[in-house]
Structure 1
């Protein structure tokens, strides 16, 4: 089916929303990563650059070490434009390897250290990396570095300045089961990563806390942006709600990365615990990756202040991004903001723009005549005319141009002819004090076609005794789950995402087949 582009003029203004101006980089950076980190070593050499569970290093040490590693990568055959696969649980190693790859004009390719062998093999087949920095015990069919000590005797002097043809190449495929690479359309220079960081509120010369694993695109990009912008960057090996508060207080973090699942776990700590830490240093509490339930967002705004909370919505592909402050959110509750990059259009099933306020599929693009923000390896984009693309989200735009997300197109259930959005069910379920996370999916029903089923994560793995009554109070009958399963299994991954296909197979396929 050929999708239609949005109409022009006043109709376009009513049915889509766009960034008012192209984002301008408001900080000074050098032309190449070699020059940028050399300059940081000169101006902030004794300032701590990286902190994780294994290492603390200054900007001078970061510059020297990444120069050594860059030479080691060259010795192992990596060249300009090559992909360098990076997979480790050690955050500082991932950062060192990514910067070293940039310094020789290669493209960092972060990969989860939790992938099983077959998943890793599929990623390698798609991406064909020239070199892998991998500290796991998995097998690899490409040249591999497991121990970085071989670089210790190499020169730490600056390398010739070079720019990679692509900034990064993160992996995806967890929701579809088919691995792909999302190769950035931006060149690998400091301006590109700094611009990404600034859109996400990353400051200059502050203290940034990254609470998620670095194989995720947003945390990987934000950590590298933080370093490029001269920030002390604190990396958590794994998320823990109270440890996050400890780290904020200990390091006086000014910018904090989180996802709504983390916010919920922190909020459900006992009051004497969560309110017992000094968070006054935080100037920006940034959250991303998934819709935030309104009750939770309001609770955090009340806690830290509306001017501190900052949210961004945008796919890894980078066609567009919306954002808003807590103050804006209070005026537009439930919104994920207005475009800061690119354009947003809401369309019906035939690809036609819908009127303001009506729900439809969210389509995105960078803008007429602008170069693509990415290209896939291992997949094809779902695109329309004039560079419009969709990643399958459902939402609406209000009269002020603010975007609201409802759910994923693939997740929506048709229950007796009524659209039921699992995200709404999950948001209500998560409000219950005993629920740590929720996953709503559809199961077959002879009469209604499909009905909601719910898996909830609780401390004891049991469904609370008052849970049915709680759902009845907050959800219409058609939206209420017909089957509920309790578990202690962690439903969200390190990035705060729920892999519904896997969870449904694990908990509900016997139910669906019975």
Structure 2
């Protein structure tokens, strides 16, 4: 009988249809597919094309590199680098040791990255030249002596928790989401929209949840995963034509950039292989959504509203959305949407309040936890903090995604962090950051900066605040700045961002 490891028969991990068995460790599943599929392509990423056997050997070597650095079961491992095969190998390497992988954006500036390191307290940081230097426990995948480490499979191991994902916090401070489910196959990892043995195409950065679901997990199902190093619309079309993916994941900014390519380019694109287009992370412009529905068909375009915490989710197909434009769908099976006012009273259809979920299927020990933030749990209810309402048929509409948060190209940006950086300037009295509409990115960051009375308004605001803005990752830096001598905060010391936005766009914007 073939084995993924001398102690683990493949039949114990994968069923007769090639699907993972419940309870199979994720690291061992990659080794099992390496036995079954061998030289079949597992991963295409940039110029690299790796078979299941090659990817498994890379992961085994990397696991032993971590082990040599003292990484043991339960230890946390930061993985921070651009999209490249070693990122995915490092996720599986951690699981093979029973360690906890913690993907973190390599785009963070030094202070932000240090904040994440302080919260995670990793045993090791797996990185490359793009990641912040200066950490003694940093394993540089480009400088490592790969040939010095054994490539054979490791004994089965399970990580508990299965992973820790980084997210923004409503205060602008680093926040981490602990996934309490161990690194074994189960209902939390399977999806009817992503069956085993297919081809997936991922366009997003691997440290986000949707790429995790549509690039990293499919490998445990024996699927071929195609991953972009970075998103470029023409290249995305080329990869679809070349690899014929079944399932793809995009954010609305990506969808918009593809749809706005010249007609002579998009008219020739063959998108017929795509059975499922998942999009999430931000509202999709109606004209862009209709373009994709026209191209793929409403039954193939799925919008999801949810989060890494898995407190609840909604789903809507394209044909449903055409009947209810603006809706993000109804609660998935097992979930219930509850809208509450500020006093915690349940509201009826059409009334705007905070969106809460009741996840009936949630069992003991399966609720997430935060590091660096407090949850919004109320008894058996939980919330992402968004405002919205439901119609008579239970379809959810988002009124405001976290009133302070701005979504830029699918990335969550919290004004408090940006305001704090700008207010370090000695002549800045106060600052408020809001999101203004942007055709490409969905929203652009606009800073309103209060200067002392009588102080001359700078001609170039970005240059004036250059030193302060350097403290922020590039995607968090405002694209426009206005200066004022009027108070930005009200008498209660509050920043009324909705009011500030309405004054610049009008209440109907």
Matched, 1:352 2:345: yes
Deviation at 1:219, TM superposition (A): 1.4
Aligned to 2:120: 127
Deviation at 1:444, TM superposition (A): 9.9
Matched, 1:312 2:304: yes
Deviation at 1:510, TM superposition (A): 1.9
Larger deviation, residues 275-284 vs 141-150: 141-150
1:380 to 367, 374, 379: 374
TM-aligned CA distance change 1:137 to 1:256, over 3 Å: closer
Matched, 1:222 2:210: no
Deviation at 1:443, TM superposition (A): 6.0
Tell me, yes or no, if the aligned pair for 1:34 and 1:158 is still in contact at 8 Å.
Answer: no
1:72 to 44, 65, 72: 65
TM-aligned CA distance change 1:319 to 1:133, over 3 Å: same
Separation in 1, partners of 2:388, 2:484: 31
Separation in 2, partners of 1:275, 1:100: 42
Matched, 1:438 2:437: no
Separation in 1, partners of 2:219, 2:362: 32
**For 2:234, what is the secondary structure of its paired residue?**
helix
Tell me, yes or no, if the aligned pair for 2:80 and 2:131 is still in contact at 8 Å.
Answer: no
Separation in 2, partners of 1:365, 1:150: 50
Separation in 2, partners of 1:39, 1:512: 66
**For 2:230, what is the secondary structure of its paired residue?**
coil
Matched, 1:508 2:500: no
Which one scores higher on RCO, CA 8 angstroms, separation ≥ 6? 1
Q: Give the alignment of 1:53-202 within 5 angstroms.
A: 53-135=46-128, 136=130, 138-141=132-135, 143-147=137-141, 149-173=144-168, 176-191=171-186, 194-195=189-190, 198=191, 201-202=193-194
TM-aligned CA distance change 1:273 to 1:352, over 3 Å: same
**For 2:85, what is the secondary structure of its paired residue?**
helix
Larger deviation, residues 254-263 vs 140-149: 140-149
Q: Give the alignment of 1:305-454 within 5 angstroms.
A: 305-340=297-332, 342-367=335-360, 370-371=363-364, 372-384=366-378, 386-411=379-404, 426=437, 430=439, 437-439=442-444
Tell me, yes or no, if the aligned pair for 1:368 and 1:387 is still in contact at 8 Å.
Answer: no
Unpaired stretches in structure 2, ≥5 consecutive residues: 1-17, 407-433, 451-472, 488-509
Give the structure-1-normalised TM-score.
0.75
TM-aligned CA distance change 1:37 to 1:368, over 3 Å: closer
Tell me, yes or no, if the aligned pair for 1:71 and 1:154 is still in contact at 8 Å.
Answer: yes
TM-aligned CA distance change 1:140 to 1:107, over 3 Å: farther
**For 2:393, what is the secondary structure of its paired residue?**
coil
Unpaired stretches in structure 1, ≥5 consecutive residues: 1-25, 414-421, 446-492
Tell me, yes or no, if the aligned pair for 1:393 and 1:407 is still in contact at 8 Å.
Answer: yes
Across the aligned residues of Structure 1 and Structure 2, the Cα RMSD in angstroms comes to 2.8
**For 1:508, what is the secondary structure of its paired residue?**
strand
**For 1:70, what is the secondary structure of its paired residue?**
helix
Deviation at 1:182, TM superposition (A): 0.7
Aligned to 2:25: 32
Deviation at 1:287, TM superposition (A): 0.8
**For 2:385, what is the secondary structure of its paired residue?**
strand
Deviation at 1:512, TM superposition (A): 7.5
Deviation at 1:344, TM superposition (A): 2.1
Deviation at 1:111, TM superposition (A): 0.8
Larger deviation, residues 138-147 vs 128-137: 138-147
Q: Which portions of structure 1, spanning 4 or more consecutive aligned residues, are displaced by more than 3 angstroms?
A: 435-445, 511-514
Aligned to 2:502: none
Tell me, yes or no, if the aligned pair for 2:73 and 2:98 is still in contact at 8 Å.
Answer: yes
**For 1:392, what is the secondary structure of its paired residue?**
coil
1:299 to 287, 291, 295: 291
Deviation at 1:508, TM superposition (A): 2.9
1:49 to 32, 37, 42: 42
Separation in 2, partners of 1:171, 1:256: 23
TM-aligned CA distance change 1:233 to 1:193, over 3 Å: farther
TM-aligned CA distance change 1:331 to 1:349, over 3 Å: same
Separation in 2, partners of 1:191, 1:73: 26
